[in-house]
Amino acid sequence: MTGAGSPPPRDRRPDGRAQNARPRDGLGRPLPHDATGVERVPDTLVLPANESLTEAQRLLDAGRPFHAHEVLEGTWKAAPPAERALWQGLAQIAVGLTHLGRGNPTGARSLLARGAARIMPYAEDPPYDIDVTGLIAFTTKLRADIDAGTAAPSVPRLRVNRGG
């Protein structure tokens, strides 16, 4: 039942599960229904690994780590079992960057640590040219900067730069 002063009914997916269809800002925070937000990643998006990495990097470079997380999460949930921890770890690193951008250093530190721990087993033979060693170094430095109170939002490179 809704009436004057009642909140609007919750947005629902066709299967009845809750969904927040409100527009979001670049860090994934919900905005008022009538606001203009950034383009959202569709809930059903599942990209092949190389496309996922390219799109996630584009979003990270654009200062949209929450949205990069959503791209990586879709790939994680569809990945073969042997790769799920890798994709989950990458998504957690993006969420850690989201928390840092939102001013939550405690959450950032926690998610960066969990993400780095999940991707660490892939360091010896990383698939898709993922720079696992570089990402672990990035998260280690960023966590130290958080501890020192000097952390600033920064952008990791997901893949090894083979430029030349």
Structural domains of the chain in order of their starting residue, each with its CATH number = 49-148 (1.10.3450.10)
Q: What is the pLDDT of residue 38?
A: 66
What radius of gyration do the chain's Cα atoms show?
A: 17
Each residue of 23-56: b (16+ CB within 10 Å) or e?
A: bbebbbeeeeeeeeebeebeeeeebebeebbebb
User: Residues, the chain, total?
Assistant: 164
Rounded to two decimals, what is the model's pTM? 0.82
Q: What is the pLDDT of residue 23?
A: 78
Higher pLDDT, 47 or 133: 133
Query: Per residue in 73-85, pLDDT tens?
Result: 999 999 999 999 9
Q: At what angle do helices 132-148 and 84-101 cross, to 10 degrees?
A: 30
Neighbours of 79 (CB within 10 A): 18
Q: What is the pLDDT of residue 5?
A: 62
Can you tell me the mean pLDDT for 96-102?
A: 95
Does the pLDDT value for residue 28 go beyond 60?
Answer: yes
Does the pLDDT value for residue 12 go beyond 70?
Answer: no
Which tokens in the block code for residue 128?
């898709």
Residues 139, 68, 78, 44, Cα dihedral to 10°: 160
Q: What is the pLDDT of residue 4?
A: 57
